[in-house]
Amino acid sequence: MFDARYKEWLQKGYYDYRAYVPSRLLYHADYFHIRHLLEGSADTIAAEAARRLRHVLRTAVAWVPFYQRSVRLSARELAHEPPRQLLDSFPYVEKAQVMECQRDFLDQRLDPGRLNYATSEGSSGRGIGVWRTKRLADIEKAFYNHEWGKFGFSFDKARYLRMGSDARRLPHEPCAAISGNRLLLSPSHILPRHKAAIVAALNAFRPQFVHAYPSAAASLAELIAPGELDFAVDAVLLASEPATPQQLASIGRLFRCPVSISYGLTERSNLAFATSVAGKCRPFRFEPLYGVTENRWNNGRPEIVGTSCWNDVMPLIRYCTDDFGAVDADGACRAIHGRAQEFLLDRSGNRIPGLLLIVNGGAWDFVRLYQVRQTRPGAITIFVVPKHGALNAAQRKFLLDYQLKRWGGCFDIDLDEVADIPLSASGKRQLVVNELR
């Protein structure tokens, strides 16, 4: 309890005061190195990407158990052969492999207890946990600040509206709260009964930017008319979900500014951005300095495969994302398919974004697959495929208590163990399935 409160206190202080702290004190040196590189020529970027890729591959073969077993490259080859050619000697890696033996993908010189452990929200019904350092987090932020900085955005300096899981509040709590340079608006509170409070909070805070889940930004656009806001937004920055054309059109009508859509993963294997202006969306473009993006043909479709040029802590080389889209030689991709979003109807008929029903990271220790399914309003069933035989009473309680604490006021919640969770028509397992339609 003390650790949780201390962490919360530190986090609050960080967000309250980071706008006043010099960037050199906030970020690792590699953050500034990358920002400088991204302003350089394509040749400079390609040379640094190759250098970084070689370092990651050499680290993997020397210090990562999985690659020590599965890759046969000599020290001479690793030092002198072209990095992209070396990459062909590495096997494809899938999420299930990583989760079956996580520690085998971690540099064995590192102590996991001294690293940050991050878990995905399991949008495909199969979560993943990865270890990383603050350096890697700062490197990630460098790419986002470079891309979104083209609109004038900065995570630590710009005033922005944030609508995501970190902004979620309990049903009885106010819909919005200020945290430093952010106005946090709870996605589950974007409802007609909160409209007056939402409009008042927005007009009082006057954000320059919107950083949100597409579903949350679209819900806000459906709730509020453009004339009700007395400020202008420079850009809307979307992440964590796919954005449909209908959502982009709604968001554009409300904010009347460029909309940037990012594609990234907890696994930190790929990063791409697309921009929508006046309802027209340009192709995604994968960042060549961030990592190597390949296509693997999977059941006749081009699966996106990635290798980070910077992750030498837990390198996932040739990681198969389970997302699909043809990527050309210049890193352009017209559309990325495979990810999906769903809404659930609570007891009052309110639509709750499915992404908010995140899976507790500790569940992946004993859960292989996880799905939330709704067949009637106000009730959900959690379907679980255990990893090691049947769940025991403590594990069932852990799973149910986590969701009851967060969502018991909105839904009746049941738990059901199953042998498997079948693929959807799109070939993916979804975290949330709404069968009301």
pLDDT classification of 188: cutoffs 50, 70, 90: confident
Residue 119: per-residue pLDDT: 80
Residues 107/59, Cβ–Cβ less than 8 Å: yes
Pairing of strands 412-417, 379-386: parallel
Alpha carbon separation from 241 to 169, 213, 333, 351 (Å, rounded): 20, 6, 17, 16
Q: What element of type H or E holds 385?
A: strand 379-386
Least confident of 125-139, 227-241, 374-388: 125-139
Mean pLDDT of the chain: 90
Backbone angles phi, psi at 251, to 5 degrees: -65, -40
**Residue 433 DSSP SS3:** strand
Kindly write down the DSSP assignment for every residue of 202-263, as one continuous string: HHHH--SEEEE-HHHHHHHHHHS-GGG--S--SEEEE-SS---HHHHHHHHHHH-S-EEEEE
Q: Which of 303-317, 350-364, 390-404, 415-429 has the highest mean pLDDT?
A: 303-317
Residue 426: per-residue pLDDT: 44
Residue 268: per-residue pLDDT: 92
Q: Is the pLDDT of residue 276 over 70?
A: yes
Q: Which domains does the chain have, with CATH numbers?
A: 343-434 (3.30.300.30)
Q: DSSP character for 91? A: P
pLDDT classification of 31: cutoffs 50, 70, 90: very high
Bridge partners of 179, per DSSP, are: 182
Kindly write down the DSSP assignment for every residue of 293-356, as one continuous string: EEEEEETTEEEEEEEESS--SS--TTEEEEEE----TTSEES--BS----EEE-TTS-EEEGGG
Least confident of 5-14, 169-178, 245-254: 5-14
Report residue 55 as tokens.
């370092």
